[in-house]
Chain A
C-alpha cells in the first residue's frame, strides 16, 4: 500500500513537468509521423535534426539573438537537413533508412562544429516561455501554455495544408508514387519538401527543448527516434489514423500519453537504464501486431514502403 501511495504521489507531482516536456517533444513525433505516414518514407533524420535545432538555437541565443528568431533559424537548418536526406534517397537511390542514418551520423559532426564543444549553457537567456501573460516564467505552467499554443497552431496549419490541393498531392506521393507521377505530381518536389518539413519540426522541437532546459548538448537526440516512434504508435492506437485529422492528432495525443507512461514507470521504480529496452520492446510489439493478427484472420491491406 505504501509503495502504491509513494508511486502515485511522485507520479502526480511530476505530471506538470512531464506534460510540458511532452508537448515540446510532440513536434519530434510530428516530424517522425509526416515522412513515415504521409510519404511512406521511413526517416531517421530526426535523430540528427533534433540536436541540430538545439545546437543552432543554443549558439544563437548565446550570441544574444532573441528567442523567436533563434527558433526560426533552427527550423530552417532542420528543413535543410530533411531536404538532404530526401535528396540522397532520390538522387542516388539509397534506401530511405540508410539515407537517414548517413544524415544523422554526419549531423553529429556538424552539430559539434556549430557549437564548438559538446554542450553549451544558455541559462538566463530570454526564452519564448518568458512571454506567457499572467504566468510566472520558468514554471511548468508557462511552458505548457506556450508549447501547447505553438502545437495547436502547427496542428491547425498542417490540418489545413494536407486537405488543400497541394497537400492532397503530397499524400498521393506517399500512397502511390507511380500513380502520383502519372497524375502530374512532381514526386521529387513533394518528397523533398515533405521530408524537409518534417526535419523543420524536429529541429523546432530541439530548439524549444534547449530554451526549456537552459542548455544545448550534442547528445540530446540520443534515442529520441525510438521514443518518438513509441509515442506515435500509442497515439495511433488511441485516435486511429483513418483520416487526416486523426493522423495529425496522433503525434500530440501519443506524445502526451507516452511521456506520462514513462514518468509512471520511473516513479514505480523502474531503473532508468532499462528504459530504452522497454521502449524498444514496446515499439516492436506495436509494429509486430499486424503481422501476428494476419497469421489468423484474412490478410489486411498491404502497407507499402519505398525501397
Chain B
C-alpha cells in the first residue's frame, strides 16, 4: 500500500520563478492496485515519482509504504521496498557491466550484500530462466555487456530487474516512451503480465492515453501539483480515450498525438 499525505514541494522558493511542483498532494494506492498517472507536462508527475523514490526531498508531507513512514529515508534505503523503471533505458542499467551482473545487482536490492561470490551457477541458471520469459534471447547473452543491447532489450532487462524480488511498490516512469511502437508494446505486455502474476502494487506514469484506458485499476490525473481527477472501478472499465482527453484543461500537442 502506498500513501502520499499532503506532499508539498516548491522549487525556487521566494524567487520570481517560484514553482509549486506538489501542492498538498494526497494519493492512496491499495496493496495490489495498479494506478496509472496522467497529466500534462509540468503537472507534477515526475516530482511525485521522485518524492516516492526519495530522489526529491519534500518540503512538507509524508510518504508511507505498507504502513511504514519512509519520508526521512534516502534513496538507497527505500530501494528495499520499491523498484523503479526509468524512461531512459540508459538510466536503469549499468552499461559497462554484463546482463548477469545487472541481474545480480537487482536481486540484491533488498538484501545485505555479502563477501561471497556474486555470480554462482545457481544464480546464473535462475537468471537464464527469468530472462527467457521475455522471448528476446537475452537468456543466451548473460555475459554480454548491457551497452551492446538495443534500447528495447535494455528496457526489458530493466523491467525484469525491477519486478524480480516482488517489491512492495513498482514505479514505472513513462518506461515505454523512448521505445518504437512495436518494442513499446512488447515491454508493456511484459509489464502487465508481471504485475498481474505477482500482484504488484504499481504506479505507472504515462502520456499514452490508450495505455491509461487499457491498463490499471485506477486512473489518476494530476494538474498543477494536485490530484485533479481519479477514475476507478466500473467507471474505469468504461472510460475511453476521448473521455480522458476531455479532462485536460490544456491540451498539449503530445496528448493529441497520443490519441
Report the minimal beta-carbon distance from A134 to chain B, rounded to whole angstroms: 35
A166 is an interface residue with CB less than 8 A from chain B = yes
Chain A neighbourhood of B93, CB < 8 A: 176, 179
A179 touches B92 (CB 8 A): yes
Chain B 97-126 per-residue mask, 1 if CB under 8 angstroms from chain A, else 0:
100010011101110011111110000000
Q: Are B76 and A175 within 8 A (Cβ)?
A: no
- Return A21 CB to nearest CB of chain B, in Å: 33
Task: Say whether B115 contacts A184, CB under 8 Å.
Answer: no
Report whether A166 and B79 are in contact in the complex, using a CB–CB cutoff of 8 Å: no
Q: Are B105's CB and A180's CB within 8 A?
A: yes
Is A163 close to B, CB under 8 A?
Answer: yes
Q: Roughly how many angstroms separate A207 CA and B197 CA in the complex, as a whole number?
A: 59
State the CA gap A186–B93 with chains docked (Å). Answer: 16
Instruction: Flag if A172 contacts B115 (CB, 8 Å).
Output: no
For the complex, give the distance between the alpha carbons of A174 and B96 in Å: 9
Give Cα distance in the complex from A166 to B105, angstroms.
10
Provide the main secondary structure of the chain B interface: loop
Does B245 make an interface contact (CB < 8 A)? no
Partner of A176 from the list B76, B95, B114 (CB cut-off 8 Å) is: B95
| A-side contacts of B113, CB under 8 Å | 164-166, 168-169, 185
Complex partner residue of A175 from B80, B83, B96, B119, CB under 8 angstroms: B96
Give the contacting residue for B94; candidates A161, A163, A180, A187; CB below 8 A: A180
- Expressed in whole angstroms, the Cα–Cα distance for A77 and B96 within the complex equals 32
Q: A166 and B75: CB pair below 8 A?
A: no
Whether the Cβ atoms of B118 and A165 lie closer than 8 Å is yes
**Across the interface, which residues of A come within 8 angstroms of B84, CB to CB?**
182
Shortest A201–chain B CB gap in Å is 19
Indicate if the CB atoms of B94 and A179 lie closer than 8 Å. Answer: yes
B118 touches A172 (CB 8 A): no
Chain B residue numbers with a CB within 8 Å of A174 are: 96
Q: Known contacts A175-B94, A176-B93; decide if A182 and B118 are in contact (CB<8 Å).
A: no
Q: Are B116 and A164 in contact (CB under 8 A)?
A: yes
- Residue among B84, B91, B118 having the largest count of chain A Cβ atoms under 10 Å: B118
- In the complex, the answer to whether B108 meets A169 with C-beta atoms within 8 Å is yes
CB of A167 within 8 Å of the partner chain: yes
CA separation between A224 and B75, bound complex, in Å? 38
In the complex, chain A residues 222-247 whose Cβ is within 8 Å of any chain B Cβ: none
Query: Which A residues are in CB contact (< 8 Å) with B118?
Result: 163-165, 167-168
Given contacts A163-B117, A174-B96, 8 further A-B contacts (CB under 8 A): A163-B118, A164-B113, A172-B94, A172-B105, A176-B93, A182-B79, A183-B109, A185-B79
User: Which 5 A-B pairs rank lowest in CB-CB distance, beginning with the nearest?
Assistant: A184-B79, A175-B94, A165-B113, A184-B109, A168-B118
